[in-house]
Amino acid sequence: MAIERTLSIIKPDATARNITGKIIDKLESAGLRVIAQKRARWSKADAEAFYAVHKDRPFFGDLVAFMTSGPIVLQVLEGEGAVAKNREVMGATNPADAADGTIRKEFAENIERNSVHGSDSAENARGEIAQCFSEEEIVG
């Protein structure tokens, strides 16, 4: 499988509980390498732009409020089949449906406060990485 890059975000529910290290441990243990990382606090405009694909969904307003409610940790992850591998380690969107051992099973509070974001395709990963990081911030 090809070496890919994907965008990961540790969400405000997880930074609030001081569990970023536990989450990064799961990512690294799965073979994903952190090649860029920064902490940020998103504005409403940042969150609306990032989640523009969901703008017509009923949960959009709540999602933007949640993602701007506290600090987040943005990362670029690299590895073999990184997009799918990260989604696998994250687990299902709703922690009630997430498999044992996944980040969301272990740490998510509910379907919205679900601790992590991961790009859902290689193409979206390229767009999300470009949206969040400059070339100089990524050290592969």
Please enumerate, by residue number, every residue annotated as part of a binding site for ATP. 11, 59, 87, 93, 104, 114
Rounded Cα gap, residues 136 and 30, in angstroms: 26
* Sheet of strand 116-118: strand arrangement: 33-40, 72-80, 3-10, 116-118
122-132 and 82-90 helices, crossing angle to 10°: 80
- For ligand RTP, the closer of residues 111 and 138 by Cβ is 111
Is residue 117 part of the contact set for ligand RTP (CB under 6 A)? yes
Q: Using CB under 5 A, which of the segments 5-13, 57-65, 74-82, 115-123 binds Mg ion?
A: 115-123
Residue 29: its H or E element: helix 20-29
Residues acting as catalytic residues: 117
Contact string (CB under 6 A) for ligand RTP, positions 75-114, x = contact: ------------------x-----------------xx-x
Where do we find the tokens 């001081």? 18
- Binding region for Mg ion (CB under 5 A): 120
